[in-house]
Structure 1
């Protein structure tokens, strides 16, 4: 076949490839808007069933606030529970184990039946340079992908630590791809009065959180898509 005859076929193939790429991108965009729209809608079921719940723990005050929040949740509704903390944060998981052990003693069950405890690599340590954090963020994302494939939670609870970002990003990707629908609930810290934390801001701006709760009315006025719930702790 001479070059004159080959050119029209090459041009046609390029056009088909371009059209397929545009079609695929359009489908992805439509799916993203679908996930964002339905993620923010209330979920109603005729008969509430237990939902597997991933709980992301920060350090210090973040963990204290999360454990206080868990103390008022219906434990039989959010089960089994999977606790994740940063690989360098052993104290938070110890506190979570104490909570679960007390619940197990009350109900006469084994902790292993209702809770599991895991660690994840940090995207960025305190004081770490942004250049080196690129590599550690990639590692954290791969680790988050492995954990999310293993846990496949129906609900994700988080309240501020940067550790939650890779996990929420993977959960959002899973929803877009139709792999697993995980409802992401973010509770901003009581210490955040005028502006969201970096984690909260990312989840708010990128619309990854299904519901984002704040504890101060002026914070809700600044971020109108957030839900003001008053003081929880």
Structure 2
């Protein structure tokens, strides 16, 4: 009698384990399916007009890069509707000392329509690079993880409605986190990417990633042959 009881108990335990395993698998499948639908939803709505509760200013993150990237971005900002895209947050790499200085100069020289100096609401920040020029790929694994964590902290702090970038490598983790925030419902940030004028025949690595992964809501190029090669891009002519 005792042996039969033990056998029955073992069989019942096995059935319970089997049932729990099936529930776990079902839960995982449902979760992955819902996540996939959410990603497809985000991709579908990306690029559509900004959905704001009421017309007004949009908090804007502007990602700067060393060299020509910042010069091109400054040219874009000169024609930007400052009152519409405000407050503005400027981010540059921690080792880039010139870009934020140029952004500060731009903000300090802003005046309104009546020629009165505007009250500065801009903020300036720095972010760690994923990989420095000449750094080995082995050591860049750690620096990339640090950069991603720093980018996550910055994006959680800023939560911009608009992101403007034009190719520096520092834009990739920030834009990727912005896409992740869309998927999980933290914040809907519209990413506007303008490829550098130096890119005539091929996209930069940053641009290629944002284009192929559909992270950028609007993608602009400055040469017609690029638009023909990447049909979802918008040709806007040379902006310099």
TM class by smaller structure: over 0.9
CA distance in 1, matches of 2:52, 2:33: 31
Give the match for residue 75 of structure 1: 82
Question: Aligned match of 1:109 in 107, 118, 138?
Answer: 118
Runs of at least 5 residues in structure 1 that lack an aligned partner in the other structure: none
Question: How far is 1:45 from its partner?
Answer: 6.1
1:214 to 217, 221, 230: 221
Measured after TM superposition, the shift of residue 49 of structure 1 is: 1.1
1:60, 1:39 → 2: CA distance? Answer: 30
Residue 47 of structure 1 and its aligned partner are, at CA, apart by 5.9
State how far apart, in whole Å, the 1-side matches of 2:55 and 2:135 are. Answer: 44
What secondary structure is seen at the aligned counterpart in 1 of 2:69? helix
For the pair shown, which has the larger CA radius of gyration, 1 or 2?
2
TM-score by length of 1: 0.95
Report SS of the residue matched to 1:162: coil
Does residue 168 in structure 1 map to residue 186 in structure 2?
no
Greater alpha carbon shift after TM alignment, 87-96 vs 101-110: 101-110
After superposition, the C-alpha distances for 1:176-214 in whole angstroms (9 at most, x for unaligned) are 000000000000001101010000000011111101100
The corresponding residue for 2:3 is none
CA distance in 2, matches of 1:45, 1:180: 12
Question: Residues of 2 paired with 1:108 and 1:41: CA distance?
Answer: 34
| d(CA) in 2 for partners of 1:13, 1:151 | 42
Q: Report whether the alignment pairs 1:24 with 2:23.
A: no
Residues in 1 aligned to 2:235 and 2:77: alpha-carbon distance in whole angstroms: 18
* Structure 2 residue 57 is matched with structure 1 residue 50: yes
Aligned to 2:100: 93
2:188 to 178, 181, 187: 181
Counterpart Cα distance in 1 of 2:24 and 2:53: 46
Count of matched residue positions in the alignment of Structure 1 and Structure 2: 231
Residue 130 of structure 2, aligned match among 123, 135, 143: 123
Deviation, structure 1 residue 51:
0.2
Which ranges in structure 2 are unaligned for 5 or more consecutive residues?
A: 1-5
What is residue 139 of structure 1 aligned with on the other side?
146
Normalising by structure 2, report the TM-score: 0.93
1:128-184 Cα offsets, whole Å, 9 max, x none, are 111111111110000001101111100000000000011001111000000000000
Distance 2:126 2:148 in 1: 13
